[in-house]
Structure formats: C-alpha cells, structure tokens
Structure 1
Amino acid sequence: MLRPERMSKVSVAGSKRVLESTIEATHEMGLLHLSEYDESWPEFDLGRSLEGAEEVNEKLVTVRSLENMLGVAAEDVDERIVIDETALDDELESLRAQVNELDDRRGELRARRRELDEEIAAVEPLVDLGIDIDLLGGYDSLVVSVGEGDRTAVEAALENSDAVDVFEVMSSGRTHAVFAKPAADATGDVLADALVGIEFATLSVPDAEGSPEAYIEELRAEKASVDSDLEAIESDLDELRAEQAGFLLSAEEHLSIEAQKKEAPLSFATTDNAFVAEGWIPTDRFEAFESSLTAAVDGPLDIDEIKRAQFKSNGDHHVEDADQSPAGGDSPAVEEPAAADGSGEPEEARADGGVVTVDDQPPVVQDNPRGSGVFEVLVGAVAKPKYSEFDPTFLVFLTFPLMFGFMIGDVGFGLLYMAIGYYLYSNYDGGLSDIGGVAVWAGGFTAFFGILYDEVFGLHPLSEPMATYLGLPVLHKGLKPEYAEWALAWFVVSVLIGVVHLNIGYILSFVEDFEIHGFKEALLESGSWILMLNGFWLFVFSDLFAGAKPEFLFTAFSGAPFPFGFEGFSLLVGQVGLAVTGVGLVLLALGSWIEAVEFLNILVNVLSYTRIAAVLLAKAGTAFAVNLIVFGAYNEGGNYHFIFLSDHIPEGAEIMFGGLMPGGTLGFIAGLLVLLVGHSAVLALGITSAGLQAVRLEYVEFFGKFYEGGGRAYLPFGYDRSYTTTDE
C-alpha cells in the first residue's frame, strides 16, 4: 500500500540454440522487465537482432503508412483475428498497390483542383471589364497589361513616358486594361517600364478565347468534375478502410510483436554459443516464471533469482541475496555476494546467472487497494514514486477528497461532480478514467459535507437541517450573522489539518531516514522538524503570552462554535512546547546549519493550509451571491431569507435585494438563466479553486517532506493484444 510490490532481479542464461524459444516463452508470459546489458563483461558482447528483424520492421513501416493514408482508427475494429503468416506478404502487397494507386490519383486531383481555384481567382477580376479574353493580348503593334491599381496614377505615368506613343485605359472599379502603342524607337517592355513605382498589380491573363464569364463557367465545370472524381476516390478509400481496417491493425500488432521478439537480444549479453538475459519481476511471481519457462524451453537453461530489492534509497545496492531470504521476507539487506575465498571482494560476474551483470534500479509496480488506485494519476502528475520511497497514493486518497469536500460542502454540487466523474470513469480509459474516479470520490465527500452544512446549491431546502435526520452534527459555513464565529473557527480547523498532514509527511521522512542512515541521522534530519512543528503549535495553542494571540484560537473549541471545553493548553505546556521547539532547532542545526535558516517553515507551511477555510468561505459566498441575485432576500433579526422561496415578507424586514425571479415572467426567465450560468461558474470554480488548492497542499507542503519521485515504470517484455489472437 505505502510500498510498491517487491521486485526480484532474475537472470536467464542458456545455449544459443534455445535463444528463440526462450524469447518466445518469456514474451508470452509478459512478466520480465528486461535490463539493458551495459557491455561490462570482457568475454560477452551485446546481442544482435534475430534473422528477419529488418524485413519485419520494413513491413511494419508499410502497414503504418497504409493506416495513415486510409485514416484507420481503433474504433474501426470490433473483433480479433488470427494472422495467417503465409498470406500476410501477398495481402499486404496487394493492399499497398491499391492504396498507393488511389492515393496517387487523389493527390493529382487535389493538385488540379488547387490549380483551377487559382485560375478562377485570376480570371474573376476580368469579368467586370466586359472584354473577351482573347482581346487582351496577341497584338503585333500594341502591348496590353491588365492589373489592379490607381487609374489616375497609371494614366499620368503613361502620359509622361516617352516610350508610349498612344494608349487607352479601360476600367471597372480598380481593375484596368491598358492598351498602348510603343513609340517607334521604344525597346523592351514599355508598359512595365512606364508603370515602375506606380500602384499597379499585374494580373495573369489566361490563354483562352471568349468572355471571362464563359471561361470561368468552363473552369467551374471542370472543377465539379474533379470534385466528383475526388468523391469517388474518397469513397473507394472509405470502402477499403472499412474492409481492411481489421487486417491493418491486426497486422500492425502482429508485426510489432514479431519486432519485439526479434530485437530482444539487443538487451542480452552474448557469446558465440551462449546468452544471458536479466530483468526484474515481482518477487511473488518468480516461482511461476521459473517453472513455466523451464517447461516451455527444451534445452539447457539456467534461471536464477539473483537478488531481491529492499525498500531503501541511499544509492547503494540495497538488495537481499536471493539464497538467504525467502520471498517477501524482511531480513536485513546485504551487498553483492562476496567471493567464496573469503576475500570480501565482490565475486566477478559469471555467465551462469549467479551474479548480477547490470546494476539498474528496480521498476515500480504500485500496490494500492481497489478504489484508491485511481489517485495514482495525481501522484503520477508529479512523478512516479521511486522503488525505494513511500508511495503516497493511499494517503492522497485519504486526504484529497476530504479537503475537497470540506471546502465545497454542497449536496447539489457533490452529486454533479459524482455524475461527471462516473461518466469519465466509465466511458474513457487511462488518465481520463482515473480522473473520473477521483471526481467520484471528491464528489461523494462534497455531498457528505453538504449534508453536514445543510446546503444544496447554496440553499437550505428542508425545514430541518439534513444532518439531524441522520443523527449527525450540524455545521455552518459562517455566512449568516448568527453563525459568524464559524468562519473564524474554520481557519483554526484548517491549521490543525495542516499540523496533522505535515506530521504524517515528516514521520514518513523519519522512517526512510532511519532505514537508510540509522536513528541519529533520522533524528537530525526529520525528527528535528517533528519536534519543532509540534512544540511550536503546542505553544501557539497555550496560555503562554495569550494576550498577544488571536482570541478565536481559544474560543473556537470552547463553545464558539464547538462545545469541546478547550480554552488553550496551560502555561507549562506552552513552556514545554517552546523548549521542544528549541531542541528541534538545535538538532536541525547540528544536522545541517544551512537548513536551519528555514525553521520558519513550521509556521509558514501550516498557515498555508488556511487556504482551505478561505476557499470554503469564497465558494459559499459566491453561491449565496448567485442565489441573492436570482431569488432576492430580506433580513429579519440578523438572519436572511430568500424572498422567492418565502411565503411572505414579515412587516419591518429589511430587503437586501429584490431579486430577479420575484419580478414577473421576464424576471423569472432572466433569473433562471442567471441561476444556471451562475451555478455552472461555481461548479467550475470548485475545480479551479478547491481542486487546485487541495492538489497544491499535497504536492508542495506534503510531498515536499518525504517524496521525490522519478521511479521507472514496470514494462514487462510482452504485448497486450487488442486486435489479434493466437486461438484458431
């Protein structure tokens, strides 16, 4: 729960003649997380891919290219098939030829369509000129230019040009056709030279006859034909996708599996005649792995459990010798096995699987109970836990929904969060599904606290508080004047939540330090913070210097509002608290004087938890404001009542706001709209305020005490089939 599954390092060594059968059996079991050979053995080389790996990868590239061209998606397939290896090449080649032919034709048609669009766009400005296209060029004694620009500037430029003898400009809007007769001694492009620097953008005139309108119609007719051909091509491709999606996805999966198997030796240590493969498996699966692999491989094979990883994190090889500790045992960690001659030096690595060849950290398989596992998505957003450290997932499961529900505390919003969460959880996979599970838990606690607060969308709909029907205590958020002391009390409660939460973090840190370094280091590194944190807050809640402390610290649990009879710790407890704080500070300085300058974290970190109360009041106030605008409210004797939900307004009551709904039909419609939009905003703010603030407290204040992350995911050698099956 707080630790990952126990992992064992396994060595599989054997003759090369059983290499392929060993790979096949290991892949089928899907248990071994392979370690990459680091080429540290002088007599062993890095393995090579099996024969045929290059051909398999080429086919895989072809399949994925075809999937991309056809737009194949996972939802296009609803059954698993068996791949016929003998027919795969022919089927793939035939499909490749069909798809390439259709795709090439589609590319040609799309290119022609773009050309037609460009040509139509070029001819459209000529329509208003009213001149046939063939009259805009082809003269022996005239030069013609068509373009868009300022006619006045064009005419002035032509008037001033010595190269132009006579000219005529025909216009429609900003489109002009310029006809000019060059002077007898003119050379070059006289119109282009004359119009240099003038606002005149030349248009391309196509080589065609007839009016621009008729030519555009011809182009559009051709474009319609191209579009029709494109639709036919797309239809043919859609039919191919529907027919071949299953084959392509199954072929991709089959080839991916084959590629995995053929490239597996790239992680092995090999000689001309032997191989050694190492990796990690859950300790409680080793015996099943060993017996299954031995039964599947007919030949010389040596399978050894080299070591079992301990839950320690100081960077050394904290492992148990597999021969000295039973699976799942708690015996002390030992280093690499010493040489048989008693020299104390680590035994030189051998190819018989007896000594570890690759010094890598074990992968992590988080071991969380059903229900709390969805909170791994919140932990994973920071980083996967290291194998050597505590997994905080279960603690986040216990605290995050509690803080979230406490801050929102509304039955209506809680049920909505649960509905949204259930939809995500049941309709999606992976991270979205896990987020949905988190939302279900958070919504459940929101609804529970809503019962205690007697609140449904900011309203109190029943004549008696909901909690009284269940025999539970009734809580108040503190918005009403008569319950004002509750608002201050929630800040005190938030502080206590912070003290408890941080204590858990420091205790986990203490345990880790104790396991790694022993009691002294644990006391200096983590125990010092535990002493300072608890000593300081014992002082804060004591009568020592009570006059300088806020009064609500002592009244919140003595009847205003909680009737627990607590009015503060005694002077002696306060003095002891200060002394304990001082001892903790001295211990911290002895361990790391640089860290001692951060001693104020015992105050700052705890006060950070007051954001819980702040969000509680902000959400309640926002929901109240929406309801006030919609329903209106009056104040009677220091208490408010919503006008629209009341039978009558007592005489002498103070109207706080008249409201929209009491204002007739139009007011009712406007009020309903504001109600929906307003509470939708409150629903969203619950996520962006309560959700993010709770996550921040987990990540920054809590995780920062004991958690680093950075673990490796457990990715066993194997494949989870989705589209293929080995059953005939």
Structure 2
Amino acid sequence: MLRPEQMSKISVAGSKRIMSDVIETMHELNLVHITDYDGSWEGFQPGDSLEGADETSSKLVTVRALENSLDLDKDEINTDATVDLTNADERLEEIRQEVNELDDRRAELENRQREIDEQLDQMELFADLGLDLDLLWGYESLEVLVGEGDAAAIEESLAEADHIEEFEVFTGTSGESVAIFAYPDDDAEDDLDDALVGVPFTSYEVPETDGDPESNVADLNEERKQIEAELEKVEKELESVKLNAGNFLLALEEELTIEAEKTEAPLRFATTERSFIVEGWVPTGKVDELQQRLTDDSGDQLEISEIKRAKYTDASGHAEEEVHDEEPATDGGSPAATDGGQPVVEEDTEDEQVMTDGGKSDGDLVTVEDDPPVVQRNSKLVNPFEILTRAVNQPKYSEFDPTITLFLTFPLFFGFMIGDVGYGLLYVLLGYTVYKKFEDAISDFGAVIVWLGLWTTLFGFLYGEILGLHFIEQMGYHPILKKGISSTEWAISWLLVAVVAGWLHLNLGYIFNFVEEWSVHSAKEAIVEVGSWILMLNGLWVFIFSDLFSGAKPTFLVGSEALFAVGPLGFGFEGFPAIAGIIGLVLFGLGIAILLTGPWYEVVEFLVPLAHVLSYTRLTAVLLAKAGMALAVNLLYFGAYRDEEGFHFMHKYATDYAPKHGEVVFGGIANMGSVSLPLGPANLALEGALLGLPVYIVGHIVVLAIGGTAAIQAVRLEYFEFFEKFYEGGGKKYEPFGHERTHTSDD
C-alpha cells in the first residue's frame, strides 16, 4: 500500500509487416504505457500513421461535432441498448445532413431573433420621438439623422456650421432621443456628420418602412413570437434526433476513438524502412502475460525484452534492476549491432531485424530514458482516499503513497471533532447518495464522506450525543467520553490529546522521509536532513512532558495534578522523569547541531517541531465550537435551567417547571404555550413546539453544514503539517495503451 506497483520497462521489436498485429494485441491487453520515441537513435525515425488514419480522424471530428450540436450528454442516453454499427457510414451521413439542416435553420432563426431585438430597442427611441417612420427617410435634398444626444449642443453646432442653410431638431419626450433634419448648401462638400463633430451624439439606422413606431413594434413582437415557436419546433426535432441517434453516435465515437488510437500508434514508435521498436512500462506482474500473448499472436517473429525493472530507490525513478534475455527472439535476417548505446540498422536484401540484446549493449542501456508511471496500490476500502492524495499531486514512483495514512487518520480527526450520532448518520446518508448517484472522482468523494460519517457516529456513541442532546443517557447508557463544553478538565484533556496525536502523526511523516532519503540518497543525508528533525521533535516534547523545571510548567501538564495522571482520561502519567527532560534538551540541541552540518539555513525554523504539533490543537477548538453551536440550537428550542447538579434542557413550560427545579437560563421556543403535547418522557407546549420546529431544523442544518468545515481543518493538518515532512508528488500517471469500452464490445 505504501509503495506503488512495481513497473518493468519492456521493448518489443520486429518487422513492420506484423506491426499492425502487434498494435492490435497491445491495445486489446491495455497494459503498456508507451514511451514516446524521442528521435535520439541513429537510423530510426518516428513511424507514420497506419492506412486509414486520416479518414478515421475525419469521421471522429464529424461525430464529435454532431454531439456538440446536439448537446449530447451520455447520462441522457440509454447506453445499455444494443447498437448496430453495420452501415455506420451511411447512417452517419444521414444524421449529419439532418442535424446540419436543423442547425442551420436554428442559427438562421436565432440571427433573425437578434436582429428583431435590436430593432425593438431602436423602435423605443423612434416611438419616443412621436414621428411616423416614413418622415425619417427618403428625402433627396434633406439629410436626416436619428439617435441619442444633447439637443442643445446639436443645435448650437448646426447653427455655427457654414454649410448648413436650414435645420430643425426634434426632441422626444424623454429628452434623450433626437431627430435632426438639415438642408445643406448645394455647393457644400461636407455633410451633416461633419457638422456634428465633437458633439455627443449616437446615430441609429432608420428602417426604411412607414407607419407609426408603435405599429412596427407590434409587428416585430408578432414576428418574434413566430420565430420563438419555430425555434421551439427545431429544438424538439433536434432533441428527437438526439434521443434516436445518441446511442449510435456515442458507440461510433468510441469505435472511431479506438481505431484512431491504433492507426496513430506508430507515431510513438521508433522505425526504419522495414522494422520497428516500441518501448513502454508494464506492471511487473503482467510482463509474462504480455509476452505470452504477443508470442501467441505473432509467433517467433518478435523480440520481446524486459529491459529493466524500476526500483523505489531513485528520485527520478531511473534506478532499475537490469534484466537480460538469454535468447532474444528473431524473425530471420541480420541482427542490428549497436553503437554508443544506440541501435544501428544493418541493411539486408530480404528483411531487417532489430535486436536490443536484452536491453544492453557494450554496457549501455538501449532505451529512451523516462520515469516509470505510477499505479497506486491500495485496497478497495482505501482506494477512494486516493482522490485526496491526488488533490495535492500524483505520488512519485520513489515516494511513499500517503493514501493509507489518510484513510487511518483523516476520518479519525473528523469524527473526533464532530462526534454526534445524528450528524454522523446524516453524513453517511449524504455520502452514500453521492457514491451511488455519481461516478469516478465524485463517487470516491461520496465514499470518503461515508467514512467521515461512520467515525462521527462512533464518536457520537462515545460522547453519548444525538443532535447535541444526551437523550441516550435516559436509556441507561452512560457515555464514556465528554466533549468538555461544560467541563474545563475535559476541555484541557482534549487539548493534551490533540498535542500527543500531532506528536505521533509528525513522527510518522519524518520516519517516511527518513526511509526515503536513506533509500534514494544515503544514510548520511537521511541523518542530517531528516534525523536532525526527528531528534528536535522528540527531544523538545520529551522535555515539555518531563518533570524538569516542573515549577514553571502548568500543573495540568506534569506533576501529581497532571490531567494525564488524575484527570478524566488519567492513566497515572505524571510526566517523564527529570533525567528524561535533560536528555530531551540534549537531543534537541544535537538535532540543531547536526542540521548545521547540512542545510544550515533551515535552522531558522527550529521552532517548527513546537508550532506544528501545537497546530493540532485546532482539533479540540473545532470540537468545542461545534458542540457550542449545537447547544445554542437546542437551547433556543428546548430552553434550559440550572440547579445544583448543573445545566439541563427543559421539556415543560418554564413558569411551571423552573420554580421546582432551578434557575431558568432560557425558556425555549418549544415551551411557549399553554396546551401540553406528550413527547417522550417530558411535555412540550403544542404551539411552541410547532412554532419552533423550523428554527430547530434549520439550526441543525446550519450546524451540520458548518460542522462539515471540520474536514477543512483535518485535511489542512494532513496537507500542511504531515505531507510537508515527506511528500512532494509529481509522479506520472499510468495511462496504458488501450481503451475501456463503455458503449461497444470487442465484437
């Protein structure tokens, strides 16, 4: 679980005449993460697409364009229906013609609709002027402009214009619309526009029609209704095409995608005139299966070599175990020699044969260097939490995969903070709904929520809470734990528990990093760069929890009154002896000294072991805050009183209940009334109970939603405190050559 699946690099070499068969087998197996040839081998070039690649790509573009035009969503289509792709070309052409005609008609109608909308906007201006439209156009000697502007400035500018003999300016009722009629000199070369230069004025085109603007508005609105009806008809026809042809298009797209992957695969191969080599990564446990299938399908015409197995001991993933084939397969002809670690092609009168000699030549590995892809190896229970790991980055091949630690600690932190049976069951219900309704990453997210809900429910039983109430105690169950909202000892105890949890959690992160540094680099680097921090972390906190200088430390921390000794969670721990504290300080100083021999500049962060552990106290802060919010909602609804035994929620009208049982803190909405309503072991006022119910429901929904933000605090501890110690990410995702069919079958 902590390491990804081991990967092996394989090389497949053979004659071009069987290349298409090899591609077919590799695609069907869906195992090989192909390494793209980088052009570095002398005599080899990237291959050319197989015959039919251009035609397949063209059809695929057509299918995807049709899906886009139809706004095709696979969730709307019955993908379980059987699809017959016989005569697919003819059917595709029929669908294309029908969709294109409808799409063109839709575009034409939408364009006309936009034109009408623009005209309607202008007609409002013409209507404001109160002039018939035929008065605004068709003159031989008059120039007419209609638009929006400052009428006074326009008149002033026209009066000063030498080439304008006469003019008249009409202003609409709003004062913004303006119609200008001007009679220029016969000899004037300038027109009306020149006379308005520098004047605020926006001109609109006058439609060459007659009648009053109101009538034109009515006509345009009527035409717009007709267009809307026509558009609706076209949309229904397109919807009908989508429902009838959607499954066919999805199936054809999948089939063409697969065909395109196969025909374009040689672009990633190294080829000569007659031979090819393809390299790629395969899970080590699947290498034999790959070799067997390729051999069965191609006989002895291929050389299949496992040229290396990637180890987990190199930051780049290049470190490997060398693998040698005793007798590389051949298909006749002269084998290629190698020169300087590169394959060399030898010409032969009949055929060419490429040999890699088990992946080695004169001590040099003949391969395109690349990092192995990462296949995270987690169980079905843990697998959904990979979404949280990948939210940071894909693990490197040489790194520990932190998914299992997220599975063990993230829900634990969340459940500790929320700890309520009612909220927990609601989270489980929400998560399960998301898990079943959606797919892929969103489905995994739903599974994570389920786990959060389960841990919340478990802690809810330990705290004895259901929606912030302790009705569970009335059934004879006495909770093991208390949240501490009304008990200082419990609250401080939880602060100490959070600190210890952080101490242990960070130690785990440093240990992961120590092992990685030791494996990838050296023992010295592991000790200097990681061991120093382990010494500082543990030395500091052993000192803090020791009797050394106990008089200066809080009594709840060490001594006979320490909460870990006599508190609600007490187990007799009064602190480490003073000698342990001295050793702790020595270890802390030793860690700083060791760090100074390496990356000394990190010494400025010597208080990180203190600050990062204290950061885990946010767990207790959220625990108390959420409990306080739930208390506030229940107080509003039920009310509460206080007596010599403490704080209690009330379940009967306050003026009758409080005098007998104690001082009223708040009467509660549910107790405002006069008619009693039996409710379990107590009575509520009928009017108040019904009136306060919406407040009660909405209040707990708000608490549920805000309580969900506890996940942010928990995941923050994982990402910023824990991951920072050992995890970087940046690995390459395993993407094997092949395709998982969802709309078609191999047949």
TM-score by structure 1 length? Answer: 0.88
Residue 83 of structure 1, CA deviation: 6.0
Residue pair 2:489, 2:567 contacting (<8 A) in 1 also: yes
Structure 2 distance, partners of 1:605, 1:145, is 74
Q: Which residue of structure 2 lines up, in the alignment, with residue 631 of structure 1?
A: 638
- After TM superposition, list the pairs within 5 Å mapping 1:640-655 onto structure 2: 640-644=647-651, 648-651=657-660, 653-655=662-664
* Contact residue 628 and residue 657 of structure 1 kept, 8 A: yes
Say which SS state the counterpart of residue 320 (structure 1) adopts: strand
Cα separation, 1, equivalents of 2:721 and 2:736: 34
Residue 97 of structure 1: how far off its partner (Å): 2.4
Unaligned runs of 5+ in 2: 327-338, 345-353, 360-365, 674-685
Range that drifts further, 167-176 or 252-261: 167-176
Q: Distance in 2 between matches of 1:161 and 1:660?
A: 79
- Note the alpha carbon deviations across 1:456-497, whole angstroms, 9 max, x for none: 1211113348864xxxx61111111xx221111111101100
Aligned residues with identical type, % of pairs: 49
- Deviation digits for residues 637-678 of structure 1 (CA, Å, limit 9, x no counterpart): 262112346893254733323333323477555633332332
Q: Which moved more, 1:49-58 or 1:359-368?
A: 49-58
CA distance in 1, matches of 2:435, 2:46: 44
Aligned AA (2:12): V
Q: Please say if residues 168 and 178 of structure 1, whose CA atoms lie closer than 8 Å, have aligned partners that are also in contact.
A: yes
Q: Which stretch shifts more, 55-64 or 294-303?
A: 294-303
Q: Which runs of 5+ in 1 are unaligned?
A: 326-344
Give the aligned partner of residue 367 of structure 1: 377
1:486 to 470, 487, 490: 490
Higher mean C-alpha deviation, range 626-635 or range 561-570:
626-635
User: SS state of the match for residue 452, structure 2?
Assistant: helix
Indicate the residue corresponding to 2:459 in structure 1: 449
Q: Distance in 2 between matches of 1:574 and 1:370?
A: 44
Matches within 5 A, 1:341-420: 351-353=354-356, 354-355=358-359, 356-420=366-430
**Contact conserved, 1:364 with 1:711, CA < 8 A, in 2?**
yes
> 1:421-478: CA deviations, max 9, x gaps?
111111111221111111111111111111111111211113348864xxxx611111
CA contact 1:49–1:264 (8 Å) conserved in 2? yes
> What secondary structure sits across from 1:462 in the alignment?
helix
Do 1:629 and 1:659's aligned partners in 2 also have CA atoms closer than 8 Å? Answer: yes
Look up the equivalent residue of 1:377 and give its one-letter code: I
Partner residue, 1:539: 543
TM-aligned CA distance change 1:177 to 1:314, over 3 Å: closer
Return the match for 2:713 from 666, 689, 693: 693
The 8 Å contact of residues 151 and 178 in structure 2, kept in 1 or not, is answered as no
Alpha-carbon spacing, 1:190–1:531, altered in 2? closer, same or farther (3 Å): closer
Find out whether 1:423 has 2:433 as its counterpart: yes
Select the structure with the greater relative contact order (CA < 8 A; seq sep ≥ 6).
1
Contact 2:314 2:521 in 1 (8 A): no
Partner of 1:679: 700
Task: Please say which of residues 242-251 and 416-425 is displaced more in the overlay.
Answer: 242-251
2:415/2:452 contact within 8 Å kept:
yes
Aligned residue number for residue 217 of structure 2:
216
Q: Within 5 Å, which residues of 2 pair with 1:134-533?
A: 134-138=134-138, 146-147=146-147, 163=164, 169=170, 171-174=172-175, 182=183, 202-298=203-299, 300-315=301-316, 317-323=318-324, 351-353=354-356, 354-355=358-359, 356-464=366-474, 468=478, 474-480=480-486, 483-533=487-537
* Counterpart code for 1:489: S
Q: Distance in 1 between matches of 2:531 and 2:184?
A: 102
1:599 matched to which residue of 2? 606
C-alpha separation in 2, matches of 1:527 and 1:412? 45
- Give the AA of the match of 1:715: E
Q: Give 1:598 shift.
A: 2.6
Greater Cα offset, 421-430 or 51-60 = 51-60
Distance 1:298 1:243, change over 3 A: farther
Over 3 Å counting, the alpha-carbon distance change for 1:516 and 1:183 in structure 2 is closer
Pick which of 577-586 and 188-197 moved more: 188-197
- Matched AA of 2:700: H
Residues 235 and 299 of structure 1, relative CA distance in 2, 3 Å threshold: farther
Structure 1 range deviating more: 72-81 or 702-711: 72-81
Specify the SS of the correspondent of 1:514. helix
User: 1:505·1:702 contact (CA, 8 Å) conserved in 2?
Assistant: yes
For 2:525 and 2:184, locate their aligned partners in 1 and report how far apart those are by CA, in whole Å. 102
Q: Distance in 2 between matches of 1:464 and 1:428?
A: 40
Aligned length: 700
Shift, 1:722, TM fit: 1.4
Asked if the contact 1:82–1:726 (Cα under 8 Å) also holds between the matched residues in 2, the reply is no
* Cα deviation, residue 172, structure 1: 4.0
Name the CA distance, whole Å, in 2 between partners of 1:148 and 1:323.
85
**Aligned-partner SS, 2:642:** strand
Give the deviation of 1:395 after TM superposition.
0.9
Q: How far off its partner does 1:153 sit?
A: 7.0
Q: 1:55 to 1:643 in 2, by over 3 A?
A: same
Give the drift of 1:703: 1.1
Secondary structure in structure 2 of the residue aligned to 1:720: coil
Q: Distance between the aligned counterparts of 1:200 and 1:595, measured in 2?
A: 67
- Structure 1 residues 274 and 170: alpha-carbon distance in aligned structure 2, compared to 1, 3 A threshold: closer
List per-residue Cα deviations over 1:362-390 (Å, max 9, x = no partner). 11111111211111011111111111111
What SS class does the counterpart of residue 209 from structure 1 fall into? coil
**Displacement of 1:508:** 1.5
RMSD of the TM alignment (CA)?
3.1
Counterpart residue type for residue 698 of structure 1: E
The code of the aligned residue for 2:726 comes to F
Instruction: For residues 565-588 of structure 1, give each alpha carbon's deviation from its aligned partner in whole angstroms, at most 9, with x where no partner exists.
Output: 111121222222223333333333
Task: Write the distance in 2 (CA, Å) between the matches of 1:296 and 1:712.
Answer: 30
Quote the residue 1:72 is aligned against: 72
Map of 2:363 onto structure 1: none
1: CA distance between counterparts of 2:281 and 2:625?
50
Letter in 2 for 1:300: Q
Match of 1:720 in 2: 740
1:8 counterpart = 2:27: no
SS across alignment from 1:276? strand
Q: Judge which range, 252-261 or 50-59, deviates more.
A: 50-59
What is the alpha-carbon distance in structure 1 between the residues aligned to residue 495 and residue 475 of structure 2?
23
Please give the secondary structure, in 2, of the residue aligned with 1:381.
helix
Query: Letter of the aligned partner of 2:667 in structure 1?
Result: G
The Cα of 1:514 is off from its aligned counterpart by 2.5
Q: Distance between the aligned counterparts of 1:292 and 1:401, measured in 2? A: 44
| CA displacement at 1:708 relative to structure 2 | 1.2
In structure 2, the residue corresponding to 1:558 is in which secondary structure?
helix
1:39-61: CA deviations, max 9, x gaps?
A: 22213222222122122212211
Matched, 1:614 2:618: no
- Contact 2:417/2:622 (8 A) holds in 1: yes
What's the CA shift for 1:11? 1.1
Instruction: Give how far 1:187 is off.
Output: 5.0
The answer on 1:17 being equivalent to 2:21 is no
SS in structure 1 at match of 2:72 = coil
